[in-house]
Every structure is written in structure tokens, then in C-alpha cells.
Amino acid sequence: MGSDCSKNVLVVEITRLLYVLLFIYAASSKLMEFESFEIQLGKSPLLSAFAFWIARLIPFAELLIAVLLLFSKSMKAGLYLAFNLMIMFSAYIFIILHYSSFVPCSCGGILEKMSWNAHLIFNIIFIVLALASIIILEHKSYEKRRKIISKILFPALASITAVIILFLLSEQVMHYDNPFIRRYPNHPAVFKNAQDLKYNSYYFAGDLNNKLYLGNYSTPLDVTQFDAELKFSQKIKVTFNTKNIPFRTVKIFLRDSLFYLSDGSFGRLFSGNTNEWIINFEYKGMPFFTLYVPMAKDKIFFRSNDPKTLDNILGVYTLSENKQVKYCGDLLQKQIDGVFDTDGTLLYSTKLKRSVYVYYYRNEYFTADQTGKLDYRSHTIDTISKADFKVAYSKNGAVREISSPVEAVNAHAAVIGKLLFVHSQVRGKYENDILWKKSFIIDVYDLKRKAYLMSFPIYKTKADKLNAMYVSSNYFYALIGTDLVVYELQPILKKQL
């Protein structure tokens, strides 16, 4: 009997000592590298929305439990709290491994080098030790055992339930009411290759049959074709009798088996087939436009200027005998001048059959159907809801320009499937300097769910300016200075398409 008693005492003492060492070390490491710990929580797929409070509560709870375990009178309460805290940690890891959208990096400390599965095993060992010690410390009568079970079981269930609720609330907040916290899964896009194009006059014309096409402003009728991973290239010459049209800014765009040649300066739009690369059709009656996207061969979504106010306005051109043009004056929402404040990127999703417009200078985008009817308005995750710059006008008001320094919020955007990719130039919470100095941040949104999904970095080359970006079903492309780079999309992104 005495031997059993001494063994029980030894188990309790060893458990108490291990927990004291674990929690003091864990809390100290978190507090000494508090900023890094808070950043890691901010990247968590479960706790991102509550990172500020949790980063402060966890070290406090660990130190409090360690203090309780040091004294005999409070040791039992400390063991109960330790048991339930480890239950919560284990529930967190289990959800991370089985239900979260991605598995983040370790949160550091003593478990930094362990895998998540090793973390879980480590926690279970400590849970078993705490449970054994609690049972030893409690009385062993039948009635007491029932009370012990209730004292252990209900708090444990409550701890698991609390983690589940935090997970569900955090997912809701992060996807739909984001407090400007980015999620960085492990490598959603992986670098594959880069090519030095020598000149910065290239732009993305489109992709077709797993090939990428670039246009060149300096040589308007030349198209460069690359294989998907930029290993091979060839030049294509577009055949076009210009008929003495005084082109200024020619741009070529591919959609399905057609290519389009436009010059917004004159509101002229032509097309041809990519089998021949010969211009053989003009969209007669097409109004003046500054941006356009083909929705179908006979339907074009475009941006123009209101003839009375000169404000930007969107519209739909339908190719028919009447050359029908429908203006959608309620889509673009004026904040300052109606031109610069409504400037943005015009895109089209062939999968959703929806046009997408992303504002440059505010955290907003919207989608419209093929008739130009608004589907919904939504926001990017930054907090800049109003354009912030001043506009100078000429005496007659016909000429205007931005008179104060301004930087685009959503500098570039691209659409593939139901995903919207946005190059954001605004730094979010819990983001370190090194990442922002070395890379461009791409935020990804689900257009169907109207939700933010994740973010990933595209690393700078010898240049530090992102000129353009493009996304195909398998690859992300970027023009950085004179460099063309390609990243391969990984399953975590591709399964969302």
C-alpha cells in the first residue's frame, strides 16, 4: 500500500514539474518573441480573427497555471486548468489537420521543430499525465468517481466546443468580415521559371491551348508565343491592312480561338482567328472606349466616357443589324471626380459569365451579368473605402489630372474561373517588413461566395515594379520590370477554380 502511495505521489510530482517547465518555457518564448507569435496566430486558419486577444491570453494562462502548480493548495486546480488547456490545444491541432483550408507553419517554442502530428501526440501524453494525476488526487469512492467524471468530462467537452466555436467564428470573419488580416498558406503558387525579355514594353495578350501570348506596344503587330513554363518561344506576325488608320495604342487580346486588336484612342475594334492571325472583321458602330472585354464574339463589355460630364461609364455593345449599345450608368459610383476615382481594371470570367470591375483607389469590386445588370458589390480586405487624392481642373473643366500623390490600392487584377486575383499595395495586420520589401502580395477572392480566400507572395527579381499579371488555369504569370516570371498554381488554389 505504501509503495503504491509513493508511486502515485511520484506521478503527481513529475506531472506537476513537467507542466511547470513546459508552461514557463512556452510562455517565456512567446513573450520574448511576442510580435512573431502574434504574426503566426494572425496567419492561423482557425484563430486569425482573434489573434490580438489570443496572443495575450495564452501566455497569461500558461504562467497562471504554472504558478498554481507550484503550490500544494492550488495544485489540483492547476492540474484541472492544465488538462483543459491541453485539450483545447489538441482540438485546435485536430481541426487544423482535418478541417482547415490549409495547414500553417508551427507557432514556435519548444514544439517548433515538430510536425503537427507530433504536436498532437505530445499534447496527448501531457493530457494523460494530467488526467492520471487528477484521478490520484481525488477520492476513490464510487460517488466521488462519478463526480470526478463529471468534473473532467464536462469541462473537456466545453474546451473542445470553445475551440470549434472560435474556428467557425474566425472563418466567418476572415472570409466575409475580414479585419485586414491576410492568410498565407504554404506555397499556393510555386516558382517555375523566368525569362528576361530585355524590354518593358510587353503586355499579356492571353493564353490558349496551354500557351501564353504576349503583345508589344513598340511593335503592335507582333505577338510572342511561349509554352506554359516559358521554356520555348516563337514570334507571330499579325496580318492587317491598317488602311491608313492613325493608331496610337494598339493592344491585342485573345479569347477562345479569336484575337482582338483595339485602339481605344479611336474606338476601333477588330478581330481575327488565331489559326491564321489575319484581321478580317471590324466591330462597326463600336463606341469610343478606354477599356473592353469580349463576353462573346457578338457581345462586348466596355468602359467609355459620358459625353456630358466626361465621367467614366460602362456599357454593353451587341453586334447586330442595329449595332446596339446599352450604357449602364449606375455601375460605376463616383466619389470625387468620376474619372480617376472610378478608374480600375475590367475583367470577364468565362466560367461565371460575369464581368468584373476592380477599382484602383478603393477597396471595392463588383460583378455584372451579360446585360450589364449589377450582380453585387463587394470589398477587398484592406480598409481604404474612399479614394484619397485631389484633382486639378482646367478653366473649362475639360482637362483634369491628379494633383496630389496617390498609389493604387488594387494595382492589378486578373480572373480565372471563379477566382479573382488582386495585387494589393496595402499592408495588412501581422505582416513583417521583410515580406513586403522582397515581394508583391497577391490576394485571392472567391467571386461566387463573395469571400476572401488567401494570399501569397510573388518575389521581386532585379526589378521592384510589377507591371502586369495574368492567370491561367494552371499558372500565375507576372511582368516584373523586363522579367517574365511564372508560378505554378498548387492544388490548394486549383481546387477552388
Name, in order, each residue with C-beta under 8 angstroms of 165's C-beta and a sequence gap of 6 or more. Answer: none
SS3 443: strand
User: pLDDT tens for residues 67-113?
Assistant: 999 998 899 999 999 999 999 999 988 888 887 766 766 554 455 66
Please tell me the distance from the alpha carbon of residue 195 to that of residue 191, in angstroms, as a whole number.
12
Phi, psi (5° rounding) for residue 351? -70, -45
Contact criterion met (CB below 8 Å) for 409 and 424: yes
Question: What is the reported pLDDT for 396?
Answer: 60
Contact criterion met (CB below 8 Å) for 239 and 278: yes
Question: What is the reported pLDDT for 428?
Answer: 87
Q: What is the CB neighbour count within 10 angstroms for residue 10?
A: 10
Average pLDDT, the chain: 87
Q: What is the CB neighbour count within 10 angstroms for residue 71?
A: 10
Decide: pTM greater than 0.85.
no
Q: Name the pLDDT band for 9 (thresholds 50, 70, 90).
A: confident
Q: Name the pLDDT band for 445 (thresholds 50, 70, 90).
A: very high
* Residues above pLDDT 70, as percent of the chain: 91
Question: What is the reported pLDDT for 111?
Answer: 57
- What's the rounded mean pLDDT across residues 298-323? 88
Least confident among 201-205, 221-225, 240-244, 299-303: 240-244
- What's the rounded mean pLDDT across residues 442-459? 94
- What's the rounded mean pLDDT across residues 259-269? 84
Per the listing, cell 477597396 goes with 363
User: pLDDT tens for residues 174-210?
Assistant: 677 767 888 888 889 999 999 999 999 999 999 999 9
User: pLDDT tens for residues 10-60?
Assistant: 888 999 999 999 999 989 988 888 877 877 777 777 777 788 888 889 999
- What's the rounded mean pLDDT across residues 417-431? 92
User: pLDDT tens for residues 116-164?
Assistant: 888 889 999 999 999 988 888 876 544 566 666 777 888 888 888 888 8
User: pLDDT tens for residues 459-483?
Assistant: 999 988 999 999 999 999 999 999 9
Contact criterion met (CB below 8 Å) for 204 and 479: yes
Cell of 60: 497569461
Question: What is the reported pLDDT for 403?
Answer: 60
Whether the pLDDT of residue 3 is over 80: the answer is: no
Whether the pLDDT of residue 211 is over 90: the answer is: yes
Whether the pLDDT of residue 389 is over 80: the answer is: no
Please tell me the distance from the alpha carbon of residue 227 to that of residue 207, in angstroms, as a whole number.
10
SS3 442: strand
Please tell me the distance from the alpha carbon of residue 228 to that of residue 219, in angstroms, as a whole number.
23
Q: Name the pLDDT band for 453 (thresholds 50, 70, 90).
A: very high
